[in-house]
Amino acid sequence: MSMATRATRALDAAQVAYRLHPYDYEADAAIGKGLQAATALGLSPERVLKTLMAWVDARPVCVVIPSDRQLQPKALAAACAGKAARMMEVAEAERRSGYKVGGVSPFGQQRPVPVWFEQDALEQARVWINAGQRGLLLEIDPADAVRVLQAQAANISR
């Protein structure tokens, strides 16, 4: 497995410190991909963040929330000053991000979009986020992630 991805190159270019953590990815895991990664690495699920692609009205957005939480579409729409939010279909998420589902990273996306972070994730000293390929997470200070992504933070999950 190559450890260099568009996500890691974007972080290198921004001179942000991170550590890579490979794990055994299970495409057909009964639990969500983020929870599977947390289990594989022995981490608490609130520290492993999942990356979702969504629509707010007709605008694409990237959402980063703890792996043990569910996105709240109404809260996301309100945070984005929109009327409605919904998840992006897999094919569109892969086309826009340039990553395969299960390996979507908010960093280095092919077609960058506004990023929204769950506010509670910023309370963690370190978080683990997909590094741009299945079976590879990066460990980063959440403040650095928000800064590099120019992300907004809001309570968008529960």
Binned at pLDDT 50, 70 and 90, residue 25 comes out as confident
Residue 62 has pLDDT above 80, yes or no: yes
Using 50, 70 and 90 to split pLDDT, how confident is the model at 34?
confident
> Which domains are assigned to the chain?
6-154 (3.90.960.10)
Q: Is 67 helix (H, G, I), strand (E, B) or coil?
A: coil
Q: Name which of 35-44, 49-58, 89-98 the model is least confident about.
A: 35-44
Question: pTM for the whole thing?
Answer: 0.94
**How far lies 41's CA from each of 32, 52, 110, in Å?**
14, 21, 28
Place of tokens 């991170």: 18
Where is 53: in which H helix or E strand? strand 48-56
Of 147, 83, 139, give the one whose Cα is nearest residue 117. 147
Asked if 118 contacts 66 with a C-beta cutoff of 8 angstroms, the reply is yes
Calculate ∠ Cα 68-132-6, nearest 5°.
145
Mean pLDDT of 76-82: 98
pLDDT tens digit sequence for 111-122: 999 999 999 999
pLDDT at residue 68 tops 70: yes
Residue 87 phi/psi, 5-degree rounding, is -70, 145
